[in-house]
């Protein structure tokens, strides 16, 4: 039985959520008839992507929802087109019993396929656009996708995908009677789709930086609490213009896409990331928000000075980042040029968001991951399961009501009651700022000392002659394991191996200096910007 204290806590939490979400403008005034229809749509559909577009189309039918290379669509057009695509898929035999794989770049076709899947009650399997043919076939089979929506440029990768999988081209002209998103929309009824009894789920693939990517099931848990938690740390507002450079198939791109629909925001999409084009989009559209991964900011700042000087970004209030660690000095370098607008989120596919570093946090310490948002609790535990003190490193466990439902293969993350292990280790300082010290499986023991590569990577990356760095543990007869650092220099030859080692020794304990240094022209990364340490190892 729920006691008075818990009831009071829930009322307080709900009050905070309504206040925070209200300040964003989501619950702002609208015509009474539209407000009633929006409430009815929400009650019937729940917190799904289908509900988000239906409500946005009711409240802002003529507002621009998406801009891409094909032009623009209003919320009403996007809603009706995704209705038509859902009806067209149903005509091909697709139902809530099917999984719909989506292997598309950032464009309207991705959005329409995602929304159509949600409207049908089907699971959407978001596929990495960097998959090889065998990887694609393996994931399609493992995740049970009986429909594949793909950009025509990936057609050559489908040779190992069974013929029983229905193929729909998301971007491209098709040919020989091939079904495309456009052809299905063009010949199908755009009227409403009946709300399915089954709650659709989204299958997001983990990054696979330390092994094969796994499918992580996500339902619609979180709802108002999740949005309020994010808005507690990042000041999003109704009707903003959002340039999404991060891949839509990644959890960060997906979260911001659904969030933008809820906000009635305009999404600006380019199929491929180009640093100069992204900045042109920001200026041309007077964008309020840029959604990216850290390496994208790095590529923008590497543009020639005369080109960078042409970009103003005068209206850019939020640069929201996630997906990988911020390299040393990147946040400061960006904010010194484009203003204090970086909000860096630390989280994972499994636990959702954990902490957010706002501009003030990053000015205090550019290495921090920030603070937990409202509704998120973080515990740091030692090897015996005891909570550690500030300044001490512990394994990260997170509770926020937005954790994943488990891997599709049946595995799960370690859980302690409502808390899920993130797979990382970190510490809080005495200011309440959180720092990620590394992956719990990346720690090495070198000469009897515990050593996490992340601290060394950040230190090397802070050198003015270094663009980025990564470090991995390698076997060593004398020390058991040692660090091998991989370094990308701004100017080749600007540093040698001994100078890198000396720089680390002068700033960290001497045992943390890498024993080996390898210079590369660039670090291997996946499509979301994470460094592929498997390749380095």
Res. 11: pLDDT tops 70: no
Distance between CA atoms of 36 and 360, rounded to whole angstroms? 40
The β-bridge partners of 153 are none
Per-residue pLDDT band at 271 (split at 50, 70, 90): very high
Res. 75: pLDDT tops 80: yes
Q: pLDDT tens digit string along 116-138? A: 999 999 999 999 898 889 989 99
Q: Of 213, 189, 194, whose CA–CA distance to 203 is shortest?
A: 213
Res. 143: pLDDT tops 80: yes
Alpha helices in 379-480 (DSSP H): 453-461
Query: What percent of the chain has pLDDT above 90?
Result: 54
Contact status, residue 327 vs residue 342, Cβ threshold 8 Å: no
And the tokens for 404? 């994943």
Amino acid 22: pLDDT: 61
And the tokens for 116? 């159509």
Amino acid 2: pLDDT: 56
Q: Is 454 helix (H, G, I), strand (E, B) or coil?
A: helix
Q: pLDDT tens digit string along 276-302? A: 999 999 999 999 999 999 889 989 999
- 270 or 475, greater pLDDT: 270
Least confident of 63-67, 226-230, 252-256, 265-269: 226-230
Domains along the chain with CATH numbers: 275-438 (3.40.50.12780), 444-536 (3.30.300.30)
In the chain, the largest separation of any two C-alpha atoms, in whole Å, equals: 76
Amino acid 162: pLDDT: 93
Q: Of 500, 390, 397, whose CA–CA distance to 456 is shortest?
A: 500
Angle ∠(339,470,326) on CA atoms, nearest 5: 20
Distance between CA atoms of 33 and 100, rounded to whole angstroms? 35
Contact status, residue 318 vs residue 287, Cβ threshold 8 Å: no
Amino acid 27: pLDDT: 62
On the 0-12 / 13-18 / 19+ scale of CB atoms within 10 A, 483 is: buried
């Amino acid at each position: 039985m729920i006691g008075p204290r818990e009831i009071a806590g829930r009322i307080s939490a709900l009050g905070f959520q309504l206040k925070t979400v209200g300040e964003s403008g989501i619950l702002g005034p609208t015509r009474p008839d539209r407000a009633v229809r929006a409430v009815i749509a929400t009650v019937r559909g729940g917190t799904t992507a289908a509900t988000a577009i239906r409500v946005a189309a009711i409240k802002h039918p003529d507002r621009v929802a998406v801009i891409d290379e094909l032009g623009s669509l209003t919320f009403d057009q996007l809603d009706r087109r995704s209705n038509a695509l859902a009806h067209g898929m149903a005509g091909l035999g697709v139902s809530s019993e099917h999984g719909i794989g989506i292997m598309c770049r950032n464009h309207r076709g991705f959005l329409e396929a995602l929304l159509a899947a949600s409207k049908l009650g089907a699971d959407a399997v978001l596929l990495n656009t960097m998959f090889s043919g065998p990887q694609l076939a393996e994931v399609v089979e493992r995740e049970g996708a009986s429909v594949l929506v793909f950009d025509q440029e990936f057609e050559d990768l489908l040779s190992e995908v069974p013929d029983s999988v229905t193929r729909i081209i998301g971007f491209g002209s098709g040919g020989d009677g091939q079904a495309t998103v456009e052809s299905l929309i063009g010949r199908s009824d755009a009227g409403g789709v009946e709300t399915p009894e089954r709650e659709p789920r989204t299958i997001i693939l983990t990054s696979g930086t330390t092994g094969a990517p796994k499918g992580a099931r996500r339902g619609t848990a979180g709802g108002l609490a999740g949005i309020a938690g994010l808005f507690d740390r990042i000041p999003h507002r109704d009707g903003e213009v959002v340039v999404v450079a991060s891949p839509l198939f990644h959890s960060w791109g997906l979260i911001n896409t659904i969030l933008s629909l809820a906000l009635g925001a305009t999404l600006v999409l380019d199929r491929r990331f180009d640093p100069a084009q992204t900045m042109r989009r920001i200026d041309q559209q007077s964008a309020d928000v840029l959604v990216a991964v850290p390496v994208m900011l790095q590529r923008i700042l590497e543009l020639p000075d005369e080109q960078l000087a042409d970009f103003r970004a005068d209206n850019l209030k939020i640069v929201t980042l996630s997906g990988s660690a911020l390299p040393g000095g990147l946040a400061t370098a960006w904010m010194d040029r484009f203003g204090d607008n970086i909000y860096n989120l630390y989280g994972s596919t499994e636990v959702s968001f954990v902490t957010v570093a706002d501009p003030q946090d990053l000015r205090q310490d550019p290495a921090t991951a920030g603070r937990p948002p409202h509704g998120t609790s973080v515990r740091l535990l030692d090897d015996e399961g005891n909570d550690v003190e500030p300044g001490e490193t512990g394994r990260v466990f997170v509770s926020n009501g937005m954790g994943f439902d488990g891997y599709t293969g049946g595995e799960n993350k370690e859980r302690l009651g409502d808390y899920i292990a993130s797979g990382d280790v970190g510490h809080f300082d005495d200011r309440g700022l959180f720092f990620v010290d590394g992956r719990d499986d990346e720690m090495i023991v070198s000469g009897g000392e515990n050593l996490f590569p992340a601290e060394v990577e950040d230190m090397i990356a802070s050198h003015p002659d270094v663009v980025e760095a990564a470090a991995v543990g390698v076997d060593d007869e004398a020390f058991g394991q040692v660090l091998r650092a991989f370094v990308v220099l701004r100017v080749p030859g600007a540093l040698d191996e001994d100078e890198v080692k000396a720089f680390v020794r002068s700033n960290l304990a001497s045992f943390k200096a890498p024993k080996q240094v390898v210079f590369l022209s660039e670090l291997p990364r996946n499509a979301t910007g994470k460094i592929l340490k498997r390749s380095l190892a």
